[in-house]
Amino acid sequence: MHLIEVEDLWKIYKNGVEALKGISFTVDEGEVFTFLGPNGAGKTTTIKILSCVLKPTKGKVVISGYSSPKECDKIRRVVTTVPQEFQGFSDLTVRENIEYFAKLYDTVDKVDEIIEKLDLKEHERKRFKELSGGLKRRVAIACGLVGDPRVIFLDEPTIGLDPKARRNLWKLIETLKHMKITVFLATHYLDEAEKLADKVGVIYKGKIIKISSPSELMEEFKKENLEDAYLSLMEQLKSEEE
């Protein structure tokens, strides 16, 4: 089942910049879909449109059967976005931060379940400001999960984290998949995409260039890892422009 359907999606800003130029793709229920592309390619713009922060210029967007922008009020009930800049309430504990968001969703009864599933029990009494970067990201995801979303958007979730914290967050993303939550992941870390993604979408200058599994992309370019395959694709695109 396609949980996300995007067809001929355009975003043209008032200054004339074409951020998205007719992109189309689908994301299946329970899938980890990883969006790859250089800075300015259109990754964040796409996430903002899918999460109803931005309105598209034109095109079709359907999430969990609801059309954007007409049914954004319903889409917001089934999606959550975890931004890089999530700060939390610094003087509140981990539990208090999660409870705050649970009250907004009227899902306070889910707090204990989320704390257990995200392995936050031993940290629940710590103040948010005392946490490491990796734990702060985990709490940010917990605050989104109490809304019981079907889709979670993660925009560069491991940027700035040390290797151990990154691996811990990878395990968390795998946990989300086991919970049947569709994960839409934008990242610059190709090892991350290779490890986690069921499917990758490569966007370049506002256009979708490739949709495939990591292994298919590696096979196409005869490379042993996704990073080398991706770099080969980027070199091919640049050579075609010259």
* Domain residue limits, the chain: 2-78+149-241
- Pairing state between β 207-212 and 199-204: antiparallel
Distance of CA 176 to the CA centre of its chain: 12
Taking alpha carbons only, the member of 147, 125, 139, 143 closest to residue 168 is 139
In order along its 242 residues, the chain shows pLDDT tens digits of 799 999 999 999 999 999 999 999 999 999 999 999 998 899 999 999 999 999 999 999 999 999 999 999 999 999 999 877 788 899 999 999 999 999 999 999 999 999 998 989 999 999 999 999 889 989 999 999 999 999 999 988 888 888 888 898 899 899 899 889 999 999 889 999 999 999 999 999 999 999 999 999 999 999 999 999 999 999 999 888 87
Taking alpha carbons only, the member of 222, 158, 166, 160 closest to residue 187 is 158
Rounded to 5 degrees, φ, ψ at 90 are: -60, -35
Cβ-in-10-Å burial (0-12, 13-18, 19+) of 175 comes to: middle
CATH topology of domain 2-78+149-241: Rossmann fold (3.40.50)
Q: Global pTM?
A: 0.90
What length does the chain have? Answer: 242
